Amino acid sequence: MPLNDPEYLPLSYLSQMGYCPRRVGLLLNEQVWLESADTAKGRKEHENVHTQRIERRGQEIKLFEYAVFSDVLGVSGKCDLIEARQDPSGCRIPPVAFPVRLYPVEYKHGKLRDEQEYNIQLCAQAMCLEEMYHTTIPEGAIFYLSSHRRQTVVLDESLRQLVRETAKELHRIQEALAIPAARHSEKCRRCSLLEYCMPDVRQSARAYCQQLAEEAKEMEVESI
C-alpha cells in the first residue's frame, strides 16, 4: 500500500483543489498549515468517529479509516468509512470473509450542504476501491457530523471525469512547484491560511515580498 510513496499525492488534496487551488499550492509546495477553530473542530470530530476500526452487524461490516490508492489517479489516502454489505455478485476485500458490495461514506464537519469538493473526494475514494478490487461503486454518501445527516452522492461519469481532471491538475501543481494566483471569494473568510495567503494583496506587492524573503534567505546562507 503506497500511502507514503512520494509519487502518490494525498487523496484529500483533491477536495482541497475543489476548495481553492492556491490553498493546495501552499499546502503542497510550501508545507504551510495553520489551524483555525473550524479545522480544529473538524479534526476532533474525525478522531471521535474513528475510535473503532471494524464493526460487524450480521451481513454488514463497517470498516473505518480504510487505506486506499490509485495508480491511475496517482493518489493514496484513507476512507473514513466503508460499508461492506454481503452480495454474491460483489467483490472480495480484506478482512471480509464473503463477497460484498462497497459503499464509501465520507465524514464532514458542519451541517448538511452540497459541496462539489466533497463529492470529488468521495468519488476518488470509490475509484480507488474500484481499481483495487475490480468492482463497481455507483454511489456513496457524505455524512455531516453536526446535523447527523447523510447525503447520497451519485458517482456518475461527469463527476468521475472531474476527479480525473482535478488529479491531473494537482500533479501539475506539484511537479511545477507552482503556487496558483489568489482569487478572492467568500470562501477566503473561512480559510485557515487567510493571513498567509493574503488574497487581497496585489500580485505585484506579493511578488515583491517574496523577493525580499528570498534575498533574506540568501543573506543567511552567506553569513554561515
pLDDT, one tens digit per residue, over 73-86 is 999 999 999 999 99
Q: Which range is least confidently modeled, 72-76, 85-89, 90-94, 195-199?
A: 195-199
Per-residue model confidence (pLDDT) at position 114: 76
CA angle 8, 118, 126 (to 5 degrees): 55
* Mean local confidence (pLDDT), 147-157: 94
Domains defined for the chain, CATH in brackets = 9-185 (3.90.320.10)
* Mean local confidence (pLDDT), 56-70: 92
pTM of the model: 0.77
- Strands annotated E in the chain: 9-10, 54-57, 60-70, 75-91, 100-108, 139-144, 149-154
Q: Helix, strand, or coil here: 184?
A: coil
pLDDT value at 17 more than 90: no
Per-residue model confidence (pLDDT) at position 39: 42
* Mean local confidence (pLDDT), 183-197: 68
Per-residue model confidence (pLDDT) at position 191: 67
pLDDT bucket at 27, cuts 50 / 70 / 90: confident
- Measured in whole angstroms, how far is the alpha carbon of residue 74 from the centre of its chain? 13
Q: Pick from 195, 25, 190, 32: which is nearest to 113 by CA?
A: 190
Place of cell 470562501: 187
Q: pLDDT tens digits for 163-173?
A: 999 999 999 99
Per-residue model confidence (pLDDT) at position 209: 61
